[in-house]
Amino acid sequence: MLIYRLLTNGGRGVTREGLLTVVAFIPALFTALILHEIAHGLVALWNGDSTAKVYGRLSLNPLKHFDIVGLVMMVLVGFGWAKPVPINPNNFKKRKLGCITVSVAGVVTNLLLAFLFAMGSTLFYNLYFQQTAGSSMYYFVFFCYELCALTMQLNVNFALFNILPLFPLDGYRLLSCFVDERNGFMRFMRKYSLYIMLGLIVLDYIPIVRVYSPFNLYIGWVGGRICYGFESFWRLIFRV
């Protein structure tokens, strides 16, 4: 379980640092989920559809956006989804352009947020080693680092997960802009995507295969490379 791993530093025991990490996880999670959904609604509004605005989905209130299953998955494994923003493509000024831009809006927003918070994680990581262990400033800098690092990581994880062509994720919505939803693949995805997701999650929890599980290779390795690339950019800029 993700929260347990954060709290105990991978099972080593509860520490002050672990408690601060869990506290930092909450706003990091809110940032990834809420701004992803607001981005969908705003881009839909720019394309001429005010449905999300009418239903109050352009709000920062997390209760407006959370899907209970997606939230549980986010807490347990570090990726999930929020309640889909209501969109009416018939209101778009240009239907296809509107569908495409709305579909990618959340993922692009997550990647931009990850890139920006990578700057904070880079700076606070360097500052962290300049503090006296156990001091108030040490814990403050540690919290700021964990907040930035977790926000970066969760946004990257959320972007990678949502771009998968599984219903009702953004990847499926984007793919439906280019292919007929009545074809065999799309019908299969609409019917079995939930089972596919559950199967992938189960594989990620089997010790023997976890290292090579699809989610670990995709979310873990690819996501790790993206985070490393973002932080490397800021280290180059700030020369730290």
pLDDT one-digit tens code per residue, 64-109: 887 787 777 766 665 667 788 899 999 999 999 999 999 999 999 9
pLDDT of residue 154: 92
Q: 161, 81 in Cβ contact below 8 A?
A: yes
Whether 156 and 223 have beta carbons less than 8 Å apart is answered as: yes
Q: Which of 17, 37, 146, 181 is catalytic?
A: 37
Residue 3 in domain = no
Residue 10's pLDDT band (cuts 50, 70, 90): low
The reply to whether omega before 84 is within 30° of 0 (cis) is no
Q: Measured between alpha carbons, how far apart are the two ends of the chain, in Å?
A: 34
Whether 1 is covered by a domain: the verdict is no
Q: Kindly state the average pLDDT of the residues 168-195.
A: 93
The pLDDT of residue 145 is 96
- Overall average pLDDT of the 37-61 stretch: 94
pLDDT at 226 over 90: yes
Domains: count for the chain: 1
Q: Catalytic residue at 181? A: no
Residue 201 in tokens: 């999650």
Q: What is the mean pLDDT of the chain?
A: 88
> Can you give the pLDDT at residue 93?
94
Q: Give me the torsion for CA of 22, 4, 37, 220, rounded to 10°.
A: 110
- Can you tell me whether residue 82 is helix, strand or coil? strand
Residue 181 located in a structural domain: yes
What's the predicted TM-score (pTM) here?
0.90
- Would you say residue 58 lies in a domain? yes
The more confident residue out of 62 and 125 is 125
Q: Which residues pair with 66 in a beta bridge?
A: 82
Question: Apex CA 89: angle with CA 88 and CA 94, to 5°?
Answer: 145
Range of the domain at 85: 11-238
Confidence of residue 4 (pLDDT cuts 50, 70, 90): low
Q: How high is the pLDDT of residue 7?
A: 64
Residue closest to 31 by CA, chosen among 56, 65, 4:
65
Report residue 9's pLDDT band, with 50, 70 and 90 as the boundaries.
low
Position 5 in a domain? no
Tokens of 210: 């976890």
Asked if the structure places residue 4 within a domain, the reply is no
Between 64 and 190, where is the model more confident?
A: 190
Mean pLDDT of 206-235: 88
CB atoms within 10 A of CB 151: 25
CB 230 within 8 A of CB 152: yes
